[in-house]
Amino acid sequence: MDDRKAVSVLTATYNRRELLERLYRSLANQSDLRFEWIVVDDGSSDGTDRWIRSILPTAPFDIKFKINEHGGKHRAMNTGIAMSGTKFVFIVDSDDYLPSNVMKTIIGWIPDIEARNDLAGISGLKTDPFHHVIGEAPKTRQGSFLFLRISGKRLVELRRWIFYEYFAV
């Protein structure tokens, strides 16, 4: 595990090269570049592989790239998680883009996350380009989710007991 990288950003993609370019630009503009970007191409035919290879020499962060035979997003995600060189994986879809402070914020949370033993994962709600929250937090029993406000964005912490209750491990 590389201590210089705090987080693996994982993107599974299929024929979305143009969208990946926008995501890449938003990753390159992050104020904290202590992450790697893992891109798993699920058998695209739109030149995704050529484009990724073209940015490798100049990217301001490490990029890991793998081409899978077309098998679906779930398989591409599993491949990417296996490629991760960090303890934390941040899943970012190919049509997403990130404000420049997102990785700094996430990396800043790591000491607090590591200090807890009641978390299985963290998920969040997206915002539109005008910072309006899209969607609502899941409706569930009181105490199963902890709501936070960080930079005006609502996030949801999924507690371990919910994970264990609904997913046999």
Kindly report, residue by residue over 77-87, the tens digit of the pLDDT. 989 999 998 98
Judge if 100 and 61 occupy the same domain.
yes
Q: Which two tokens stand for residue 83?
A: 């490629």
Judge if 81 and 91 occupy the same domain.
yes
Judge if 111 and 123 occupy the same domain.
no
Position with higher pLDDT, 114 vs 136 = 114
Q: How many CB atoms neighbour CB 82 within 10 A?
A: 10
Residues 30-42: tens digit of each pLDDT? 999 999 999 999 9
Judge if 145 and 105 occupy the same domain.
no
Q: Which two tokens stand for residue 108?
A: 């800043």
Judge if 70 and 33 occupy the same domain.
yes
Q: What integer pLDDT is reported at residue 29 of this predicted model?
A: 96
Chain centroid to Cα 164, Å, comes to 22
Domain boundary among 115, 133, 154: 115
Position with higher pLDDT, 128 vs 109 = 109
Judge if 32 and 100 occupy the same domain.
yes
Looking at the structure of the chain, the number of domains it has is 2
Mean pLDDT to the nearest integer, 107-119? 83
Q: What integer pLDDT is reported at residue 128 of this predicted model?
A: 73
Judge if 48 and 62 occupy the same domain.
yes
Position with higher pLDDT, 100 vs 62 = 62
Judge if 44 and 67 occupy the same domain.
yes
Residue with tokens 């902890």, as numbered in its chain: 146
Instruction: List 123's β-bridge partners, or say none.
Output: 156
Domain boundary among 115, 135, 154: 115
Mean pLDDT to the nearest integer, 99-127? 82
Mean pLDDT to the nearest integer, 40-54? 95
Judge if 162 and 142 occupy the same domain.
yes
Distances (CA, A) of 79 to 12, 13, 42, 138, 140: 9, 12, 10, 28, 31
Q: Which two tokens stand for residue 107?
A: 């990396």
Contact 115, 109 (CB under 8 A): no
**Statement: residue 108 has pLDDT above 60:** yes
CATH number at residue 80: 3.90.550.10
Judge if 85 and 125 occupy the same domain.
no
Judge if 145 and 77 occupy the same domain.
no
d(CA 164, CA 169): 7
Judge if 91 and 59 occupy the same domain.
yes
pTM score of the predicted model: 0.78
Q: What integer pLDDT is reported at residue 153 of this predicted model?
A: 35
Full residue range of the structural domain in which residue 97 is found: 1-115
Q: What integer pLDDT is reported at residue 147 of this predicted model?
A: 43
Q: What integer pLDDT is reported at residue 11 of this predicted model?
A: 95
Q: What integer pLDDT is reported at residue 74 of this predicted model?
A: 86
